[in-house]
Structures are given as C-alpha cells and as structure tokens.
Chain A
Amino acid sequence: MAAPLLELQGISKRFGRVQAVEGISLTLEPGEVIVIIGPSGSGKSTLLRCVNLLELPDEGEIRVDGETVFRRSRGAALTHRQIDEAQRRLRRTTSMVFQRFNLFPHLTALQNVTVGLTWVKGLRRDEARHRGLELLAQVGLEDKVEAYPAQLSGGQQQRVAIARALGMNPRIMLFDEPTSALDPELVEEVLHVIKRLTKTGMAKIIVTHEMGFAQDVADRVLFMDLGRIVEEGPPHRMFTAPANPRTRAFLRKIIHRNVMAEDHANIRG
C-alpha cells in the first residue's frame, strides 16, 4: 500500500507555559481535504503552522510519502542544517494561505504571484508573467493584475494570496482561517475559489469557522480543543451526530451564532 502523502506523529508545541498543540497525529492522503474546527486558542493554527515549520515543533515526526523529513524528541537541539533541510522539503510540498493575506504591499497583484515563480522556481520573467496571468485568471482577477494590494478589497487580496500559493505547485495547500479577516459580504467569493480548487484533487488542510463550507468541502473533519484532537469523522456525522459532548457544545454555540447572523442579515436585507 502506498504511504500517505503526509503523516504527523506526536506533534507537540508549547509557547511558554501554554501547551498549544499536544501529541497530535494525523495522516493526509493524496487529494484528501481535512477541515479542522475548534474554538479559538485550541491549537488549530499552530498545528497548521507546524506542518510547514513556521513553528518548530518541540517534539514529533513529520513524514512525506512515508519518508521522514522532520524528527525531534522532546526539546532536543536540532542543527541549523537539519532545520533548513526540513523546512525546504516541507515548504516545497506545501503552500499556505494566511488569515491576514500577507500580500507583499510593494508589489502588484501580478508581481505577488510571480515573485515566487522567478526567485524560488527559477522561471524566466516572461514564463513567470504568463503563468502569473493564468493563475490570476483562475481566481477571477484578470482585470486587477496591475493593482497594488492596498487598492484591492480583502476578498480580492485573499484571492491573490491563493493564486500566489497555487503558483508554487504545492501538493498540499494549507488554509489558516482564510475568511476570518474578511467583511461578511466578501467571504463567499473566497470560499467559492477554494471550493473550485477542491475539485482539482489537490490535498488540503483547512482551518475555518465556516461550518457550511466545511461540510461542503471536507472529506474528514477534525475537532480540536486544548491542543488535542477531540473527535474526528466524516463531515455529515460530525455535524449531525457528534459523539463527544465538547464537539456538541462547540457546534451548538457556533451554529447558533451563524443562524443569528443570518436572521439579522435577513431582517436588514
């Protein structure tokens, strides 16, 4: 049997006295979409950031295609070279979309996409430009290529960020609450772009508070709380019949909030 695309084993990360992520293991198959939900501060984002080593786990192992690319026993010292090599391999495998977009403000939309193509992938300028235009068209921004981030709406900025991430041809896309910083009316356009991507069969790990979206795109839903995976399962079961009382309490709270927001919108609209 082929090895999973990505395997995390016993990943832990502590910030000072806070144990953000505690001994998490999970596997991601090629093309699989995993959605991670949970209250804020539950360690979802930290876990995601451990996958591309933006956070260095205190402990645990990460394998890609069955091959160990990162291994650390609790608090053990790693050499710069070990860290660099692990980062290089994991960042070549993954791309991340951030909550706050993190576009490069001094570059146009097109340059934001092409800067990685030329400086990381080594494409020629004209090749990069061609590919960049394609990518921006994919996220529906062919008319904004020369705009600077400050001239774009939050939704448009996030779509540029998605194009930038896609350009690196990752095998895994990591989404860190991609719509949490957006005005409500801009959420849909971004979710729409991500949904379309899910049809391309690229593996994804998505941290989100958009439960409807989660149910739509997920192959598997993970509920995290206090740094651990409390419960996981197929989306239908997770949302209609969660087994764990903590999952139930969380879903009740968040669905209640969403319904309230919709009612409110209906009244106003």
Chain B
Amino acid sequence: MLEVIGDALPFLMAGAVTTINISIVAMGVGLILGLVAALCRMSRVRLVQWGAVGYIELIRGTPLLAQLFLLYYGLPQFGIRLEPFTAAVLGLGINYGAYLAEVYRAGILSIDRGQWEAGFSIGMSWWVLMYVIILPQAIRVILPPVGNYFISMLKDSALTATIAVSELLRQAQLRVAVTFRSFEIYALAALIYFIMSYPLSLAVGALERRTTRGTRA
C-alpha cells in the first residue's frame, strides 16, 4: 500500500499545485466580477440593476457543473474553444462572482448611513465615497466570508476534473486508471485537500474573531 501511495504522490502533488493555481486565479476573477455586480446592483439605472440581478440569480440557480460543461463543451459549437484551464478559471470565477456579489453587498450595506451623509455633505461623489470611505470599512465585514468562499473554491475546483483539467482529483483518477487502487489513491487525494483547506479554515476563524471583537468595542 505504501508503494502505491509513494508512486502516486508526485502526480497528486503536481495536481495539488494546479488546484491551488486555479483557485487563486478563479478567486481573482470572482472578486472582480463580484464587486462589479454588487456595484451594478446598487446602480440608479434600472437596466444596469436588472443586469446584475439577472447574472446573480441565473448563476446561483444553476449547477456549477452545468456551467463548466457549457463553457467547455458548449461554446465550441460557436467556434469558441477554451483551454481546460481557461474554462475552469472562467467557470469557477463567474460562478463565485455571483455569490461574492452578495458578500460585497452585505458588507457595503453594513456601513452606517451617516458615513454616506458625511461624505456627500463635503461634496464627495458616489464613486469617491465608495472607494475612499465605504469599501475600506466594508472590507472588515467582507474578508471572513471571502476566506470561506476561497476554501470551498479549493474543493469545488475538483469539478474541473470533468473538463480535463489536470488538477488534484483528475490526477488521482489517472493514477487509479493505471493502478486500480481506488481507495488508497482517492483517500490520499482527499487528505491533500484537507491539508490545504484546514489551515485556511483556522485562519478564517481567527479573522472572524478579530472582526467581531473590533465591531463590539
């Protein structure tokens, strides 16, 4: 058994690196899309507002796996062929953007109205106020849930094994195909996911405690 694990480990570690890469890039995409969607949702222009709500609801109401399939297997019908990594990062990023939009929105709405009024009363525009006053304060509220979403991203990225991304779970599948030792290899893959996510989970916990302590003072 040790031999099976020893043989598989280098492949799985390479997969884990890909998993981390995908998660980080996709999180970046999600954070940007989420912010844009959250801001659009607060727009005074109805059409922009509806666009954001449409994006958020549509994405949250459909399976991530279906979204990945659409991007990777569906788009080629229209002549758009994405690399597996690109499709994975876009799919996960677009999906998480919809959830993160709500995280941003909750953070922004948690800021006292008086902050807006003070900013407006000295002549700040909505954008300046958002950038200089509101977001820097909202970030304290936003950060812990963003951390949690990053942890689930690490695990959700396993779904991209289905679109031929050679991430951790896909590497495990490939090893199993060669060795037929499903239990040992999938257990090892699961353990590696756990080793990656648990420290992050602890960090988010610490962050949450710090945030709530700050707001109670």
A contacts, CB < 8 Å to B = 52, 54, 80, 87-88, 91-92, 94-96, 98, 100, 102-106, 115-116, 119-120, 150, 161, 164-165, 167-168, 174
Question: What B residues does A150 contact at CB under 8 A?
Answer: 217
Q: Does B179 contact A (CB under 8 A)?
A: no
Partner among B114, B137, B217 whose Cβ is within 8 Å of the Cβ of A100: B114
Question: What A residues does B114 contact at CB under 8 A?
Answer: 98, 100, 102
- Contact in complex: B120, A91 (CB < 8 Å): yes
With the chains together, A104 CA to B117 CA distance in Å?
A: 11
Would you list the 3 A-B pairs with minimal beta carbon distance, nearest first?
Answer: A102-B118, A102-B114, A96-B121
- Contact in complex: B115, A104 (CB < 8 Å): yes
Question: What A residues does B112 contact at CB under 8 A?
Answer: 102
- Contact in complex: B136, A106 (CB < 8 Å): yes
- Contact in complex: B121, A80 (CB < 8 Å): no
With the chains together, A136 CA to B25 CA distance in Å?
A: 45
- Contact in complex: B121, A91 (CB < 8 Å): yes
CB distance from B11 to the nearest CB of A (A): 47
How many A-B Cβ pairs are below 8 Å? Answer: 58
- Contact in complex: B136, A120 (CB < 8 Å): no
Q: Does B79 contact A (CB under 8 A)?
A: no
- Contact in complex: A102, B117 (CB < 8 Å): yes
Residue of A nearest to B114 (CB): A102
Question: What B residues does A88 contact at CB under 8 A?
Answer: 123
Partner among B44, B122, B128 whose Cβ is within 8 Å of the Cβ of A165: B122
Q: Does B124 contact A (CB under 8 A)?
A: yes
Partner among B128, B137, B217 whose Cβ is within 8 Å of the Cβ of A120: B128
CB distance from A97 to the nearest CB of B (A): 9
Partner among A54, A103, A104, A119 whose Cβ is within 8 Å of the Cβ of B121: A54
Question: What A residues does B137 contact at CB under 8 A?
Answer: 104-106
B contacts, CB < 8 Å to A = 44, 112, 114-115, 117-118, 120-124, 128, 132-133, 136-137, 217
- Contact in complex: B117, A168 (CB < 8 Å): no
Question: What B residues does A174 contact at CB under 8 A?
Answer: 121
- Contact in complex: A115, B121 (CB < 8 Å): no
Q: Is the interface of B mostly helix, strand, loop or mixed?
A: helix
Residue of B nearest to A93 (CB): B123
Partner among B118, B120, B132 whose Cβ is within 8 Å of the Cβ of A119: B132
Contacts A102-B115, A104-B115 known; A120 to B120 CB distance under 8 Å?
no
Partner among A87, A94, A115 whose Cβ is within 8 Å of the Cβ of B132: A115
Question: What B residues does A94 contact at CB under 8 A?
Answer: 121
With the chains together, A98 CA to B124 CA distance in Å?
A: 16
- Contact in complex: B117, A98 (CB < 8 Å): yes
- Contact in complex: A91, B118 (CB < 8 Å): no
Given contacts A91-B121, A104-B118, A106-B136, 10 further A-B contacts (CB under 8 A): A52-B120, A52-B121, A80-B44, A87-B120, A91-B122, A98-B114, A100-B114, A103-B118, A104-B115, A164-B118
Question: What B residues does A119 contact at CB under 8 A?
Answer: 124, 128, 132
Question: What A residues does B136 contact at CB under 8 A?
Answer: 106
CB distance from A132 to the nearest CB of B (A): 13
With the chains together, A91 CA to B136 CA distance in Å?
A: 24
- Contact in complex: A116, B124 (CB < 8 Å): yes
- Contact in complex: B122, A95 (CB < 8 Å): yes
CB distance from B186 to the nearest CB of A (A): 47
**Pairs across A and B, CB under 8 Å, 6 listed:** A54-B120, A87-B120, A91-B120, A91-B122, A103-B118, A115-B133
